[in-house]
Amino acid sequence: MHLGIEEAYRIKEIDGFLRNFEVEIVSVIPGEAIINVPLKKNVIRVGDLMNGGAIMAFSDFVGALSVLSMNGVMNSFTVSLDGNFLEPIHNGPARFVAKNERTGSNLAFVSIKVFDSENRLCAKVNGIWRLVR
């Protein structure tokens, strides 16, 4: 199975959590995915900046898309996510860029970079996904 943009939108819409957020799926190619998230009230915290939990949730989504885009991967489950917040995100949309760094038979290691609308690197997230083939 090769996951494309249309299938990625279907995954988002059937997800009980993600369907509540506006997300633009920019690109899904084998081992990589990019999404944009507008800064609307449901992702903003006090101080008019993007909520850290929202950053992690969208990082989880884009990381999963990058894993699901790999040939032979039918599903995946997040094993761990580790995030570092470098700069506050005041200007949107926020852009999430995921790249598979290493994929084995059972696990995929993904790095996610999060940028604001001025292309400043605002967060770095590393994740591990369990693969279902």
Instruction: Give pLDDT tens digits for 80-133.
Output: 999 999 999 999 999 999 999 999 999 999 999 999 999 999 999 999 999 999
Segment (H or E) for 4: none
Domain boundaries, the chain: 5-132
What is the C-alpha separation between 41 and 44, in angstroms, rounded? 5
77, burial (CB in 10 Å: exposed 0-12, middle 13-18, buried 19+): exposed
Q: Is 58 helix (H, G, I), strand (E, B) or coil?
A: helix
* 5-132 to CATH, choices 3.40.50.300, 3.40.50.150, 3.30.930.10, 3.10.129.10: 3.10.129.10
Helix axes 52-68, 5-14, angle to 10 degrees: 130
Among 35, 33, 54, residue whose Cα is nearest residue 98: 33
Among 71, 78, 83, residue whose Cα is nearest residue 31: 71
Whole-model pTM: value is 0.96
